[in-house]
Amino acid sequence: MHPYMIDSAGMVGAAQFIASPNYDERPLQNNDQPANICLIVIHNISLPPGEYGGNGIIELFTNQLNPADHPYYAGIYTHTVSAHFLIRRDGKLIQFVSCLKRAWHAGASSWQGRPRCNDFSIGIELEGSDFEAFTAAQYCTLKPLLAGLSSGYPILDIVGHSAIAPVRKTDPGPYFDWSQVDTI
């Protein structure tokens, strides 16, 4: 099996797994089957803002963020959020939630008139911000991850968080190079 392929448990072999408690079951459709995973949402995140390489993102996604560690954390440490994947600046891939489960990454959102994007999407966080380019190593990890997800699920679109929550969100931001992503 290719290291970026999705296994039957919704896991990627190339990823380090760090379990987040911030997920639940995907809702069932009329046929009592989970909602089809058909959307990939690209985000950016850095904690503290604009700083890279620390444990802030992992601590946020695992409910271990200490509000005393940085002034910014005081406003977010109680948030229960996650994503399926995080791609660090050096290209390292971390998985927090099985793709079969609903990670809490999109919030209030809508795609093509369909609300609650967490129900049917995969969330990928890139360590970065709206204010600088992402690294070549991140794109080198993102491309095979997207290919693995697209071969495992009926993906119809890859969008930024800003496309599904335009009033609230701007990520992945103007420095994300969409030409690096094969469109579906």
- Any domain includes 48: yes
Instruction: Specify the pLDDT at position 40.
Output: 98
Domain assignment present for residue 8? The answer is: no
Task: Provide the 10 A C-beta neighbour count for residue 3.
Answer: 12
Say whether pLDDT at 90 is over 60. yes
With 90 as the cut, is the pLDDT of residue 1 above it? no
SS3 119: helix
* pLDDT above 60 for 159: yes
In a domain, 120, yes or no: yes
Average pLDDT of the chain to the nearest whole number: 95
pLDDT score for 183: 59
- The domain of 32 spans 16-175
Q: Which whole number is the average pLDDT over 168-177?
A: 96
Among 25-39, 43-57, 79-93, name the one with the lowest average pLDDT: 25-39
Query: Is residue 42 domain-resident?
Result: yes
pTM of the model: 0.96
CA distance 135 to 83: 20
**Segment 147-166 mean pLDDT:** 96
Instruction: Using CB atoms within 10 Å of the CB of residue 111, give its burial: 0 to 12 exposed, 13 to 18 middle, 19+ buried.
Output: buried
pLDDT at residue 182, as a whole number: 72
Inside any domain, residue 154? yes
Asked if 42 and 124 count as a contact pair (C-beta separation under 8 A), the reply is yes
Domain count, the chain: 1
> Where do the H-state alpha helices sit in 106-183?
136-152, 161-164
Asked if the structure places residue 59 within a domain, the reply is: yes
| pLDDT reported for residue 82 | 98
Is 7 part of any domain? no
Q: Could you give the residue numbers annotated as active site?
A: 125
Question: 108: domain CATH number?
Answer: 3.40.80.10
Q: What is the pLDDT of residue 28?
A: 84
Mean pLDDT in residue range 34-44: 92
pLDDT score recorded for residue 184: 55
Both tokens assigned to 2? 């290719």
pLDDT of 178: 96
> What is the pLDDT, as a whole number, of residue 162?
96
pLDDT at residue 64 in the model: 98
Residue that wins the pLDDT comparison between 180 and 61: 61
Residue 2 in any domain: the answer is no
